Amino acid sequence: MPAQPAPLAPAEPTRPGPVLPAPPAVDLWWFDARAEIVRPGDAAVMDAGERRRARTLLSALARHRFEVAHVMLRRVLAGYLAAAPGALLLGRERCPRCGRPGRPVLRPGHAAAPWFSLAHSGDLVLIAVAGRPVGADLERDPAGCVCPVNEVLHPADAATLAPLAEPDRHRAIIGCWVRAEAVLKCTGEGIGHGFAGLRAGQPERQPGRIQRVRGCSVRGLAAPAGYQAALALAGPGGVIPRPMAGLPGPG
């Protein structure tokens, strides 16, 4: 896991950031919410909708994790665009299946706007940035039985995972889940339509094996202990994760 960044810097202005990766490379930014402090000036870069969602969260811990994820997303994207985090306009693309609001995107007006995917679970945040549609998912390992989740997976995946012994079955179910969700984020469908029609395949012991699912290259990621993650990139040519260093601190 890359070194953790310094606490969140004041949001304006940003420093020159990294160059947008050329496919099949995908930049991966990891953050630990326990290491971050969100000051009022930092949270102010979120738009009204993000701040409203943060206020609906019942616990201070949940609000903190949400704010870290969304402030860091804006800081990461602003670096690629040489823009101020608070000036970014985020919207939602239409789901290709139902037409409802789907994956988050940068609205038109940002030159060479990158594709991105945000995932957060427990204390960790994962942000993927790419030159074409990308999906990333991150899940904390289960604390208890997750066998009921197997029922929502593709029947072929469920049949493969059901005979496994615990706790291997529990980890395999979550591994299959993150792969499926990464693909659905990449295609823009999201998980609202369910996983039953998408065969993600059983996770491999070595996470780097690439499979083709719905026009995407999908692979597991080496995640910090206690978590599982997966990455999907649209188009041919595979997918190559590129871990990034932490963001610079203030000053």
CA 52 – CA 62 distance, rounded (Å) = 14
Residue 223, in any domain of the structure: yes
pLDDT for 176: 92
pLDDT for 13: 36
Residue 146, in any domain of the structure: yes
b/e per residue 133-164 (b: at least 16 CB within 10 A): bbbbbbbebeeeebeebbeebbeebbebbeee
Residue 249, in any domain of the structure: no
H or E element, residue 233: strand 227-234
Mark whether 113 and 11 lie in a shared domain: yes
Residue 58, in any domain of the structure: yes
Tell me the two tokens of residue 211: 């499979």
Any residues with CB less than 8 A from the CB of 59 and at least 6 apart, and which? none
Query: How many DSSP H helices and E strands does the chain contain?
Result: 5, 10
What's the domain range around 220? 133-238
Mark whether 73 and 172 lie in a shared domain: no
Mark whether 63 and 107 lie in a shared domain: yes
pLDDT along the chain (251 residues), means of 10: 41 58 95 93 94 96 97 95 92 91 84 90 96 96 85 89 87 92 94 85 72 93 93 94 68 21
Mark whether 5 and 113 lie in a shared domain: yes
CA 126 – CA 169 distance, rounded (Å) = 24
Domain final position from 109, 132, 155: 132
pTM recorded for the entire structure? 0.89
Mark whether 152 and 74 lie in a shared domain: no
pLDDT for 12: 39
Mark whether 181 and 122 lie in a shared domain: no
CA 16 – CA 225 distance, rounded (Å) = 32
Mark whether 78 and 101 lie in a shared domain: yes
pLDDT for 110: 67
> How many domains is the chain built from?
2
Domain final position from 132, 155, 171: 132
CATH, residue 71: 3.90.470.20
pLDDT for 185: 96
pLDDT for 7: 40
Domain final position from 99, 132, 165: 132
pLDDT for 144: 81
pLDDT for 205: 63
Residue 250, in any domain of the structure: no
pLDDT for 191: 85
Mark whether 147 and 204 lie in a shared domain: yes
pLDDT for 248: 46
